[in-house]
């Protein structure tokens, strides 16, 4: 595996069984209910009474289930389903790399068309940042230094080269968001493991607030359409992970939720919003940073303007999503306090 921050080549094989083994009793029952196995409340009551978790679910036998009072039909269904789960392999994010698969995903979200420009658009939240902001100035110095040391970035297919700029901009955005929100609970992780009920893998960048994933960023040397495809699958899995963390707190289960995604080639920046209502993006808007040698020598202001615009958008999105994390945390503390 490459040591690049943006390397996304998963070597690990993961099955649906591996995911289910991490479930507690209620998470397991919720999954079985969504799997349309035609089990009824009596069947779930038996699993609940026996405190069956995801891990010991795979140790169930016909004899055990019959002894607990379950009928023959449901017993057969569960035993066969267990065998299927142990053989069902999850797809790695990097395996999503065809336009046909992108079209399939767009159809899933009822996008009226087969291109990313057909996705419903949203206006990203824009946070005004002063020209004298110290973090912005430091980020500009990093970008200029790295650009001056490179032979070229134009038309580069080297993902690692582009990711050094993406990393600088994301880190600056997080630092400014912390300052604006007075929130130290937001941080970034590189090559973070994210796993849902459909896909898994290591994402280039995950940004978290408290325990929630709030944003997933994908760095690409080109082929933005495939970047969209992979980022959408990453957001789906991240959304599943967030939901699991809240399952224990029933008050959170019906909350509307959303996550932001970023797809970037360092010069080109796209933003995605995955909500309980659907999929949105900025695919028709142009957000670019002029990372060229010509701009470095003759038009430094165009670089600064592009960097500032992109950071302002990312900070706005993070502030928006962190506000939801704050609300969830307040609710959680109230519940914990009332239960004492």
Whether 326 maps to a domain, the answer reads yes
Residue 251 is part of which domain span? 97-338
Whether 280 maps to a domain, the answer reads yes
Number of domains in the chain: 2
Contact status, residue 169 vs residue 314, Cβ threshold 8 Å: yes
* CA pair distance 191, 202, nearest whole angstrom: 5
Whether 22 maps to a domain, the answer reads yes
Alpha-carbon distances, residue 153 vs 138, 145, 148, 186, 270 (angstroms): 21, 13, 10, 30, 19
Q: Are residue 246 and residue 278 in the same domain, yes or no? A: yes
pLDDT number for residue 183: 80
Helix (H, G, I), strand (E, B) or coil at 36: coil
Whether 41 maps to a domain, the answer reads yes
Q: Are residue 27 and residue 101 in the same domain, yes or no? A: no
pLDDT number for residue 213: 86
Length of the chain: 340
CATH of the domain at 37: 1.10.150.50
Q: Are residue 189 and residue 314 in the same domain, yes or no? A: yes
Whether 92 maps to a domain, the answer reads no
Q: Are residue 104 and residue 43 in the same domain, yes or no? A: no
Neighbour tally for 296: CB within 10 Å: 17
Q: Are residue 112 and residue 83 in the same domain, yes or no? A: no
Contact status, residue 247 vs residue 253, Cβ threshold 8 Å: yes
pLDDT number for residue 11: 54
Q: Are residue 58 and residue 134 in the same domain, yes or no? A: no
Q: Are residue 74 and residue 129 in the same domain, yes or no? A: no
pLDDT number for residue 185: 81
Q: What DSSP designation does 39 have?
A: -
Q: Are residue 181 and residue 225 in the same domain, yes or no? A: yes
* Both structure tokens of 122: 């949203």
Backbone Cα Rg of the chain: 23
Alpha-carbon distances, residue 231 vs 9, 211, 216, 264, 270 (angstroms): 14, 20, 7, 11, 11
pLDDT number for residue 328: 54
pLDDT number for residue 248: 47
Of 35, 63, 87, which residue is a domain's last? 87
pLDDT number for residue 243: 80
Of 87, 118, 146, which residue is a domain's last? 87
Q: Are residue 34 and residue 126 in the same domain, yes or no? A: no
Lookup result for tokens 């980022």? 231
Q: Are residue 157 and residue 220 in the same domain, yes or no? A: yes
Neighbour tally for 69: CB within 10 Å: 11
Q: Are residue 73 and residue 102 in the same domain, yes or no? A: no
Contact status, residue 207 vs residue 176, Cβ threshold 8 Å: no
Mean pLDDT by 10 residues, the chain (340 residues): 49 79 91 92 96 95 96 96 89 94 96 96 93 96 93 70 94 95 88 90 91 87 92 94 65 64 96 94 95 91 96 95 66 47
pLDDT number for residue 254: 44
- Name the β-bridge partners of 275: 258
Q: Are residue 174 and residue 41 in the same domain, yes or no? A: no
Whether 10 maps to a domain, the answer reads no
pTM summary value: 0.84
Helix (H, G, I), strand (E, B) or coil at 16: helix
Helix (H, G, I), strand (E, B) or coil at 50: coil
Whether 55 maps to a domain, the answer reads yes
Of 87, 112, 132, which residue is a domain's last? 87
Alpha-carbon distances, residue 98 vs 115, 223, 225, 262 (angstroms): 13, 11, 9, 19
């Amino acid at each position: 595996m490459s040591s690049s921050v943006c390397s996304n080549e998963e070597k690990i094989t993961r099955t649906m069984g591996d995911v289910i083994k991490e479930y507690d009793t209620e998470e397991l029952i919720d999954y079985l209910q969504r799997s349309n196995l035609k089990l009824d409340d009596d069947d779930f009551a038996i699993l609940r009474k026996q405190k069956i978790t995801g891990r010991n679910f795979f140790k169930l036998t016909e004899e055990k289930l019959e002894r607990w009072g379950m009928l023959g039909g449901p017993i057969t269904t569960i035993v066969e389903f267990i065998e299927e789960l142990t053989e069902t392999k999850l797809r790695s994010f990097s395996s999503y790399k065809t336009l046909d698969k992108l079209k399939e995903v767009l159809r899933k979200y009822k996008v009226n068309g087969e291109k990313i420009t057909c996705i419903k658009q949203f206006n990203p939240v824009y946070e005004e940042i002063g020209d004298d902001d110290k973090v912005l100035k430091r980020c500009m110095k990093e970008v200029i230094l790295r650009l001056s040391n490179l032979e070229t970035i134009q038309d580069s297919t080297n993902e690692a080269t582009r990711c050094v700029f993406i990393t600088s901009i994301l880190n600056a955005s997080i630092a400014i968001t912390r300052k604006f929100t007075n929130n130290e609970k937001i941080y970034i992780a590189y090559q973070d493991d994210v796993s849902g009920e459909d896909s898994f893998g290591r994402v280039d960048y995950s940004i978290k607030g408290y325990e929630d994933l709030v944003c997933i960023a994908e760095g690409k040397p080109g082929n933005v359409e495939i970047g969209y495809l992979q980022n959408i699958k990453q957001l789906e899995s991240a959304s599943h992970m967030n939901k699991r963390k809240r399952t224990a707190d029933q008050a959170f289960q019906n909350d509307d939720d959303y996550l932001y995604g970023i797809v970037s080639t360092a010069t080109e920046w796209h933003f995605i919003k995955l909500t309980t209502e659907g999929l949105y993006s900025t695919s028709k808007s142009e957000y670019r940073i002029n990372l060229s040698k010509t701009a470095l020598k003759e038009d430094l202001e165009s670089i600064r303007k592009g960097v500032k615009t992109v950071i302002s958008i990312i900070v706005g999105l993070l502030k928006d999503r962190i506000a939801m994390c704050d609300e969830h945390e307040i609710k959680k503390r109230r519940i914990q306090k009332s239960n004492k």
